[in-house]
Each structure stands twice: as structure tokens, then as C-alpha cells.
Amino acid sequence: MATYAVGDLQGCLKPLQCLLSEVSFDPVVDRLWVVGDLVNRGPESLATLRFIKSLGDSAVVVLGNHDLHLMAIYYGIRSVSKSLREVIEAPDIDELILWLRQQPLIHIDAEKQIAMSHAGLLPIWSLEQAQSYSDEVSKKLKGKKVERFLKNMYGNSPKRWRSELKGVKRFRAIVNAFTRMRFCTASGKLDFDTSDSLVPPSEKYKPWFQFANPSLEGWQFIFGHWAVLAGNVDVPNIHGLDTGCVWGREMTLMRLDDGQKFVCNCQADR
């Protein structure tokens, strides 16, 4: 039995299948961790979503910003984009969205001492706190008022997390930290303006993983979201797996048991 983690799929199914074939992935005994952003921009969002769902308990999925955006489109909160129209018009769309709504923002495996979220872990959060905040959002996504939650999800304010935040501001801050974070300050203020650069907006900001987090001592953390990094993270126990497949670069699969990485060139899948 082996456990693998893969970077952002974004509708790029063929590279994923190539990687799974390379490692002889067997869903009966193996497990696949998916770091979020299953859909959008790539050529096969619908097939990708269906495939990951078909893996059942063999797949461990956390939500990314594009997955949440798909939910917002489904509920009529955002206009459908060309790359997601096939998904929205699929006969099994209700089942797919219901399945997505059951997925969390963070996965924590205490036995393996490995955790995973789409964008990372806010430096001022412990893993225990992060799990609690993820559970708060999951309750909303699974509930009857999910449409109202998604409608209020968009926005850059508040930029700084505070535990006393309530209501819309609290949930938006949690979602943004888990799915949109790149640069932040030591006090937990997020930068939403820098996405295509490795240069922070000011000296107060650093990549989130460059701030020490005592909660991660002895743990490994898996994230995606930041394709510009190309997987180059200078912290030994932090692993960035978004290597820009949807942009014609690479898809990266990591075997969590020993850290070995497998790479597929995605140029042909654009």
C-alpha cells in the first residue's frame, strides 16, 4: 500500500493518468491525496471530477478556490466560464456538486504526521485550530444555506485573521487563508495582489511557509495553488506540488511514504 499526493489538476486528466500508470496505482490498496483545484482552465474538468469521485475512499480531497468557484456557478452566483460549461451541463452535475460539498479545506493525518490544504497553513494557526476552522466552513457547505454562504464568500476583506471575527467576515477569512494564500505577514495579514511573482509586496511579507510554525514541528505539509513556485520550497518539511501543469509545464505526484516525486510533462495536454 502506498499513499501519493498530486498537485493542482485543473481538468488535466491525461497527465494524472500517466503518473498513476507510472507508479502502478491500485485504488484497492493505494491512496491518492488531491491538493484541490480539480477543475477549470484545463481540457477535461468533467472527466477529472468524475474520475476522482469514482475513486471513493481511495481519494483524499481538499477544496481549492476553483472548486468553490464551480459550486458558486452551480448555484447561479457566478457566470459559467467556457472551461466549466461541460461540467455545469452534465447529467450528473447534482451528484458531483453534492460530493464536492462534502470535501474539507484541510486534511490532517495524525498517524503519518502529514497535513494538506490547497494554499497552505496560516502561520498563526496551529493544526488543531486549522481543523476547527475547516470544520466551521464544512458545516456551512453541507448545510441548507450553502447558497448564501457561497454568495458571501468572494472578497478580500478582512485581510488579517482575528479569532474574534464573526459571520461573513469570519468565514471569508477562513476560506481565503485555506484557498488563496501566498504571501502573508507574521501577524497573519494576507496579500491578494501578488500571484504571478515571487517578489513579496513589501519587506513585511513573506511566503507563508517561511514563517516558523511550531505546530508543524515533526510534520510534513502538502500544498498547491502557487504554480509560479514550480515546487521550489526552501523548507524541508513543506512540499509545494503545483508545478503548473495547466500552463503547459509539469504535473507532480509525490509518494508520501518516502518523498519520491514523479513528474509528467504537460505541454501536450494544453
The pLDDT tens digits for 185-215 are 999 999 998 877 788 888 899 999 999 999 9
Domain at 51, CATH number = 3.60.21.10
Q: Are 15 and 246 in contact (CB under 8 A)?
A: no
Decide: residue 192, CB within 10 A, 0-12 exposed, 13-18 middle, 19+ buried. Answer: middle
Residue 203 covered by a domain: no
Residue 208 covered by a domain: no
pLDDT tier, 106 (very low <50, low <70, confident <90, very high otherwise): very high
Q: Give the number of domains in the chain.
A: 1
Q: Are 222 and 107 in contact (CB under 8 A)?
A: no
Indicate whether 92 pLDDT > 50: yes
Which cell is 233 given? 520550497
Can you give the pLDDT at residue 270?
Answer: 47
Residue 245 covered by a domain: yes
Residue 205 covered by a domain: no
pTM: 0.96
Residue 171 covered by a domain: yes
Q: 52-80 pLDDT, tens per residue?
A: 999 999 999 999 999 999 999 999 999 99
Phi-psi region of 117 (alpha: psi -120 to 50; beta: other; left: phi over 0): beta
Angle value at C-alpha 254, between 194 and 225, nearest 5 degrees:
15
Q: How far apart are CA 84 and CA 15, in angstroms?
A: 19
Determine the structural domain holding residue 158 and report its residue range.
3-181+214-269
Residue 8 covered by a domain: yes
